[in-house]
Amino acid sequence: MSAISAQLLTGVAYGMLYFMIAAGLTIILGVMNVVNLAHGTLFMLGAYIAFTFINEELNFWIALFLAVFLTAIFGLFLEKWLIKHVYGKELEQVLLTFGLSFIIADAVEWIWGTEMHTLPVPDLLSGSLSIGDTAFPVYRLFVVFIGCLLALLLWYLETKTRIGAIIRAGVDDRAMVSALGINVGLVFTGVFAFGAALAGLSGVLGGPLIGMYTGMDSEILVTSLIVVVIGGLGSWKGSFIGAIAIGVIETLGKVWFPSLSMLTVFLIMMIVLIIRPQGLFGREVA
């Protein structure tokens, strides 16, 4: 029983990692109606930036802050220079962000190489807790805690703050929000930078769990898109539930039937879409 509990907790930890990146993706999609296929490379970029700072003898927490901040700034420049020119143009958005993902991924390979790296677990979180006769890493519990904390932060921002009200109104009627004198362009830039910061955060926190390697950006993008589709487009609540489900199913699948674990994830997505085409918490389109 303890081994199963440890596997379930591991699945929740990976689910929280998926939630952090999928939340940024679904917020950008829900507010700006932009399908950002370069989101996975922002995840990878955050991890590699933190790796560089740690190699320069900075501690994990400073490297985490700097990586998240720099990834957010990079996302801000992407939105201001490129993304804003393709608002409302779905095909152009896909082509632009898909091309950007290749450019950023190649730049990462050129700067850091193709060999696999990993981020060290900070000393404060390097221990383990005993679950029956199984030792469970404290760091994974920390990732679960950060994921839950992020969910609470998003709930508070959405329901208790003025910026949350503006964003909700902007999703429903952007023209009305603009007519009220609110700078929608500035809101969009802030949302994109926030989504990029979440991608960078998940990349740094994921470094000690999954490592850093060529192709990690495309793998995490596919998983996060599955989470977004299951949860419902534009719903961070759906991403939270969907990410936990995918994390647990994927983890247990790798233990019980490793050759079919990814197939199981796609089957879950298919079943959800058959029952609710808009996803678990997505709004029905009239």
Q: What is the DSSP string of 35-61?
A: --TTHHHHHHHHHHHHHHHHHTT--HH
pLDDT at 2: 64
Tell me: the pLDDT tens digits for 16-34?
A: 999 999 998 988 887 778 8
Token pair belonging to 49: 């930036």
Q: Could you give the 3-state DSSP secondary structure of residue 143?
A: helix
Taking residues 273-279, report their average pLDDT.
87
The C-alpha atoms of residue 209 and residue 203 are separated, in whole angstroms, by: 10
pLDDT over 80 at 258, yes or no:
no
Residues 149-200 pLDDT 10s: 999 999 998 888 888 777 777 666 667 777 777 787 788 888 899 999 999 9
H, E, C per residue of 54-66: HHCCCCHHHHHHH
pLDDT at position 71 is: 96
With H, G, I as helix, E, B as strand and everything else as coil, classify residue 268: helix
- Mutual angle of helices 60-81 and 184-210, in 10-degree steps: 140
Side-chain half-sphere exposure of 221, counting CA atoms within 13 A: 18
Predicted confidence (pLDDT) per residue in 42-59, tens digit: 999 999 999 999 998 889
Give the C-alpha separation, 279 to 281, whole Å: 6
List 134's β-bridge partners, or say none. 131
On whether the pTM is more than 0.85, the answer is yes
Q: What amino acid occupies position 131?
A: I
Give one DSSP letter per residue of 71-93, joined into a string. Answer: HHHHHHHHHHHTGGGGTT-HHHH
| The pair of three-digit structure tokens given for residue 139, joined into one six-digit string | 């760091």
User: Which tokens hold the place of 242?
Assistant: 């969907």
DSSP-H helix ranges across 82-215 = 90-112, 138-160, 162-172, 174-179, 184-210
Measured between alpha carbons, how far is residue 54 from residues 61, 67, 194, 207, 215 in Å?
9, 11, 23, 12, 22
Residue 214: the pLDDT is 85
